């Protein structure tokens, strides 16, 4: 159905006038009437044509819904999809869906997650890791609870750093607070980098999936390299400021 719906975006393809009530559009798209109305309210669908009080939908609406469903399945949010519809011509939607499907879940992930039991995780922190602290750690997005109750560490390397912090005498709560701060800063950086890259992609008249994948793959090294290069400099500057303030207090 994706190919049928997107065929309306090809040059020379004429769309028939809207003639479907919302129930038929729901049946054709595989979405619920409620979801279709929600997408319309969010500005992702143009208003239906009116015949009296009856709203009628057509191939253009179906095309958008298929794109929305495909992008939502890859984790795209409403705002990101709205930006695609606003910036990219309909003729490029097929390529953008292909890009999203080719990148999902695999482009930036570098480590193989490791699953441990809550008891094993707590033992690394000498029993300090309470259910409440574990819930806080999970909310950072760097670990998640599996259906069988085990905890999946999405970055085992970060878990090993946590163990080293524990060996230095930091409490589990202190380490989790540091992790929360780290994740907030990194998410801000990641959003800004990705928004710039996505805007670059959307500026292309017909994005090529292989070219876009190469662009983002290179961006990963640039982003992580920039963070690794800048953080020691910033860390030293903050240490100097901290020592200067402590010196002023002592004097």
Distance CA 214, CA 208 (A): 10
Distance CA 28, CA 48 (A): 16
Hey, which of 60-69, 81-90, 239-248 has the most confident mean pLDDT?
60-69
The answer to whether the CB of 201 falls within 8 A of the CB of 93 is no
Distance CA 154, CA 173 (A): 20
pLDDT for 107: 58
Q: In the structure, what pLDDT confidence band is assigned to residue 108 with cuts at 50, 70 and 90?
A: low
Q: In the structure, what pLDDT confidence band is assigned to residue 199 with cuts at 50, 70 and 90?
A: confident
Distance CA 71, CA 80 (A): 9
Task: State yes or no: pLDDT of 5 exceeds 50.
Answer: no
Q: In the structure, what pLDDT confidence band is assigned to residue 178 with cuts at 50, 70 and 90?
A: very high
On whether the pTM is more than 0.75, the answer is no
Predicted confidence (pLDDT) per residue in 27-70, tens digit: 999 999 999 999 999 999 999 998 888 899 999 999 999 999 98
Task: State yes or no: pLDDT of 150 exceeds 70.
Answer: yes
Closest by CA to 93, choosing from 40, 36, 44, is 44
C-alpha distances in angstroms, 13 versus 18, 59, 76, 139, 193? 15, 11, 27, 47, 36
- Residues of the chain with pLDDT > 70, as a percent, come to 85
Half-sphere exposure (Cβ direction) of 113: Cα atoms closer than 13 Å: 16
pLDDT for 109: 63
pLDDT for 43: 92
Task: State yes or no: pLDDT of 136 exceeds 50.
Answer: yes
Predicted confidence (pLDDT) per residue in 215-235, tens digit: 777 777 888 888 889 999 999
Higher pLDDT among residues 126 and 103, named by residue: 126
Task: State yes or no: pLDDT of 17 exceeds 80.
Answer: no
Task: State yes or no: pLDDT of 10 exceeds 50.
Answer: no
Task: State yes or no: pLDDT of 80 exceeds 60.
Answer: yes
Q: Quick one: average pLDDT of 128-149?
A: 91
């Amino acid at each position: 159905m994706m190919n049928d719906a997107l065929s309306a975006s090809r040059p020379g393809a004429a769309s028939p006038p809207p003639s479907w009530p919302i129930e038929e559009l729901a049946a054709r798209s595989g979405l619920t009437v409620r979801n279709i109305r929600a997408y319309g309210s969010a500005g992702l669908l143009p208003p239906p044509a009116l015949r009296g009080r009856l709203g009628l939908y057509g191939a253009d609406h179906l095309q958008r819904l298929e794109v929305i469903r495909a992008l939502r399945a890859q984790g795209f949010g409403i705002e990101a999809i709205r930006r695609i519809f606003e910036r990219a011509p309909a003729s490029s939607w097929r390529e953008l869906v292909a890009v999203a499907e080719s990148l999902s879940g695999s482009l930036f992930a570098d480590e193989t997650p490791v699953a441990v039991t809550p008891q094993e995780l707590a033992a690394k922190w000498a029993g300090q890791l309470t259910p409440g602290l574990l819930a806080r750690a999970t909310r950072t997005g760097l670990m998640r609870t599996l259906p069988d109750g085990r905890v999946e560490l999405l970055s085992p390397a970060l878990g090993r750093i946590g163990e080293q912090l524990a060996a230095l005498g930091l409490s589990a709560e202190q380490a989790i607070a540091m992790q929360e701060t780290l994740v907030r800063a990194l998410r801000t950086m990641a959003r800004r980098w990705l928004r710039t890259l996505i805007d670059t992609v959307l500026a292309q008249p017909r994005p090529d999936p292989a070219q876009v994948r190469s662009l983002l793959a290179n961006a990963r090294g640039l982003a992580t390299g920039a963070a690794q290069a800048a953080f020691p400099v910033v860390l030293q500057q903050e240490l100097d400021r901290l020592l200067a303030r402590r010196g002023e207090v002592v004097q």
